[in-house]
Structure 1
Amino acid sequence: MSTTNIGLVDSTELRHVFESLMMFRSEGINVPGITVFCQHGRRKWLVIAKEFTIVITGDSADFTGAYKLPLTIVANAGRPRAAAGAVEFTIRDGMVTASSSLGTQTLPCNSVPMPKLERTAVSRARATAQLGGKELLYTIFSGANPPFETNMVDDDDDERKTPDHFLLRIEDGQLHVSSDWTGARLYLMRAHTSAITTGAGQIKVDPDMLNIIYNCVDEDSTWTLSYDGKESLDIVLESDTHYIVAKMVIAPAAKLHERVVKILEREQFDFHTTAGGPIGVRHDGVVISLDFFQRDGDAAPLVRLSTVVTRDANESGDLLREINAHNQSGSVTRLWFDNGAVHLAIDVLPDNLMGLAQRLRLLSNEAGRLRGVLDPFAAESALPPKRRTRRRTTKPKVQPEVWD
């Protein structure tokens, strides 16, 4: 068997990897291993968890293949007080060996397919802020970290509530971070700093994002933070050594979109979608559109399944009566006439997503049935336009004078 030499990994590169792994360990996040491979002449370390993807770019390297290493062998080499200087990693016969000035460690490893790294697409709706690591850490710490007084209470108070999110806002050359701790009987925290910005927008962020920022952001590097809260749950943090994608945006409609896509894939529907946008499904020749809404005053989003039953329809009296009769029949579907077409739809709430596939099939079957019922009425002449009559101007009645 041939021997693969991953190369000499210096202490800075190992520290970057170790800090990322320690973040997952402290949060109890399951990580099956770390993948190392070579791309464009540089060594890459890839860590994938449920909500995070981290790519760390190391020094120059020249080897083929990708290998999944156990976390222990990399963490031991990069932990504080580990061997000074570089550590050499070699792979042979399904085993990886880390050699340093203090000795060697050998553990089993696996060869894996070469990862396909996908970068977040650039869009006009995406807001970005570029700033130094020190400024980024200070602003996040000042605006989102728990206040100093958080644990300085004499007694337990069940009514104290910590915020379930913090706000990020990019606008006009500034990065703003804020969090509301009034529910914990403290105060509102705000912080901002100058940055090179493009676009603008505000998002709600899960507090778990703080851990990855504190562990992975290097003070001496320049970082770019970007997000598109309307169409994606991802926050991207990028420097010359790190590319981090974290699904930490709290956007109920975007989260619902991801859940729906997974259901469509599992049920093997024929569908087409874009990130966060409408989804088109074709079932039994019926094209169904899935649109996502966040209703005003309601925290729960919904997905609307809709299709066109009849096109080029005339707004006849009989057609409108049939539409009203259907809507009053107690059916879960509803009809309406708009822009010369008859539409059929069902609204599905997040709690009812288990029945999404059944609702899609029902809508498809109902559209086929109603098409045969409504087509004759849709072909009838439209209702005559209402006659508009000009109102006569009436002169005010004047009380006649009474002469004695």
Structure 2
Amino acid sequence: MRSTTTIYALSSGTLPAGVAVLRISGPHVPAIIPELTGRPLLEPRRAVLCTVRDETGAPIDDALCIHFPAPASFTGEDVLEVQLHGSRAVTAALFRRLAMFDGLEPAEAGAFTMRAFLNGRIDLTAAEALSDLIVAETDAQRRLALSNADGAQRRLYEGWRGELLSIWARIEADLDFSDQDDVPPEFGSLVREQLAALEARIGIHLDGYRIAETVNEGFHLVVAGAPNTGKSSLFNYLAKRDVAIVTEIPGTTRDLIEVRLDLDGKLLRITDTAGLRATSDPVEQIGVERARNATRGADLVIVLDDGAQPVPDIVAEQVMIVQSKADIRPHLPASPAISTKTGFGVDDLLEKISAILDSRTRIHDTVPSRQRHVAHLERCRESLARARQSPAFELAAEELRVAADSLGRLTGAIDVEDLLGDIFSRFCIGK
């Protein structure tokens, strides 16, 4: 895609700052370089100290300027990066100067990445990964986003799509060119086995979405138990601040309270809940119901047992019973035990939680990282199953077209000429 406009925006953080980085991308960059810097050109990809000037020639600031000529730039266009002092006055003066050039306009959110995609510098999965990388809170999120930004997903999906196009081409060739001696004759058992194998690989890949979801959305830990078993005290201890109200009055906590923590490089979402008990208080009843709902949707529920009250029944994916108030209980059962007053056992508890989290977030291979990916992959797998079971070549070919289309939509690389290219290159049609 060839853009007719040039966009500009501040690419660094909130002002004021030590340094502000302004990015300009588009066809007008070579023409504005001498107007801004007084230099006829800049050596490509080399930082040059320039005096950036306004329309009268008065200096705005001394700045480092780097020219990235097209197509070897992030967007695939000519790009100029200007690194100047990060004051509001300096950047505002440069923005005013840029607004005076014909063909220049402020960039909208995501405009640089959009141009990179349209110019073939990145695919859709890489664009999504860059977005994830920018907002990453933990090291696990960073690693997952960086892997996808490096093209791991694109290579996987394009490889699968290439296999599909090859099979599709053979079917189309059998349908349209069956009189040619050099075209494979049938869509037989071998092809069906290939489709079944690809379908199985996609299924295994889809199973990894839960891992990516846990990495990106966080591992949900709910603290539950009867009233006054130390739930809010543990919650505050882990949060390292007084988030929840702690009193000796039962039923103090009524609503769900959540904090997000980084546990060994992984995101942990901890929810404090109301004490689980039968009550006639209508407000507390709402809190108890919300607590029950929270436990049902949690990845792990820690149920605190103070030894003085019955342990409530919990419906959850995974439950860990933890003895609380260990500092005032001389005889404890053989199970995890903690005291938030002395800190006893809390580190051991966190190690156990971290081990569970590790088992849920260990990424051995590329995994789908967004629900959009899951939807397209599911559609692809369903089409493969129908193609494999279809008795008619025409129906199988149509299902493979849908499957290939789904994979193409994942990366944004849908091209109707792919099939013809595959046929011509493999079967020498027309010679």
Please indicate, yes or no, whether the TM-score normalized by the shorter chain is above 0.5.
Answer: no
Could you say which structure has the higher strand fraction? 1
TM-score by length of 2: 0.23
Normalised to the residue count of structure 1, the TM-score between the two structures is 0.24
Greater relative contact order: 1 or 2 (C-alpha under 8 angstroms, separation 6 or more)?
2
